[in-house]
Structure 1
Amino acid sequence: MTETEFQQWKDRNAESFAAGIGPARGLNPTEALEFAHRETDKLLPDGRVSENNLIWMACDGDQTIGSLWISTKPRIPFIYGIEVDSGHRGKGYGRAIMLAGEEECRRLGYTQLDLNVFGNNTTAISLYNSLGYTVTSQQMRKEL
């Protein structure tokens, strides 16, 4: 990944995270995006060469169709981001990206892989369930 590709990926990743975290935390879109950029900067202090991070562009031939970001810093690796470009969704790419990430984690000697998914992301929840992921904790809210 070039530095230009990394900056583009980082911006898309922050936008995606902001779309989920904003409603979950009651942030307006500007606040959510600022929060997402701050968190990404903290997690990747050295940009694309930050230690203990796997950041991949997923390609079909020469065409980029998505990305995957896994941190291997915790005892159990954590997926911070998976994305399939909107024009390529529903074609099995998300599953293939997840399986590739799982395989790399196995190759590195890990036996588990964690992720977080926002409750309203039913498509992702369905994918993760079909891949054998199980709920390990659950945060709930009631509107009053």
Structure 2
Amino acid sequence: MTTPLVTLRPITDPEFASWRDRAAASFASGIGPAQGLDPAGALEFAYRETDRLLPKGPSTDNHLIWLACAGDQAVGSLWINTRTRGAFIYGIEVDADHRGKGYGRAIMLAGEDECRRLGYSHLDLNVFGDNSTAIHLYESLGYIVTSQQMRKEL
């Protein structure tokens, strides 16, 4: 499969509210099981963290929130923090009806290009251990494990 072409554009203030809802829901689906939270608690935690990290919404310093577009159609989003020497992916999302078509790879590659253009020498991310689809994508793009958390239920 060839990688589709996407462009990244900054999210607008009117688009931010619905993006925030999707970002919080996505984070909650991973953090809930990892932290032993019920779905409502995980969603509450996710909103609290998103609001803490983005107190000024899309205008928050050191945060880049882009919509990924194929032509004129949004197919996903990418959220990168630039507060440290390297850039850090806080979130990548491919809209449900566009999954399995190569857009995740295209969004990651476009984000890497943007980070290079902005002068960053590396790009970091975290991934939940049970997200095998994302892990496979990141490994196929050349990302390597730099730290690992482990747990044993007692």
Same fold, TM-score > 0.5, yes or no: yes
Q: Distance in 1 between matches of 2:88 and 2:40?
A: 26
Q: Distance in 2 between matches of 1:8 and 1:130?
A: 30
State TM-score, norm by structure 2. 0.91
- How high is the sequence identity, in percent, across the aligned residues? 72
User: Structure 1: which 5+ residue stretches go unaligned?
Assistant: none
User: Structure 2: which 5+ residue stretches go unaligned?
Assistant: 1-10
Deviation per CA, 1:54-90, whole angstroms, max 9, x where unpaired?
A: 1011111222110000000122211000000111111
Whether 2:98 is the aligned partner of 1:88: answer yes
Structure 1 consecutive aligned stretches of length 4 or more whose deviation exceeds 3 Å: none
- 1:45 corresponds, among 36, 47, 55, to 55
Q: Shift of the alpha carbon at 1:2?
A: 2.9
Equivalent AA in structure 1 for residue 98 of structure 2: H
Q: Secondary structure at the match of 1:117?
A: coil
Q: Shift of the alpha carbon at 1:101?
A: 0.6
Counterpart for residue 56 of structure 1: 66
Q: Which has the higher contact order (CA 8 A, sep 6+)?
A: 2
Alignment of 1:1-144 (within 5 A): 1-144=11-154
Q: Shift of the alpha carbon at 1:4?
A: 2.6
The count of corresponding residues between Structure 1 and Structure 2 is 144
State TM-score, norm by structure 1. 0.97
Q: Secondary structure at the match of 2:58?
A: helix
Q: Secondary structure at the match of 1:102?
A: helix
Equivalent AA in structure 2 for residue 18 of structure 1: A
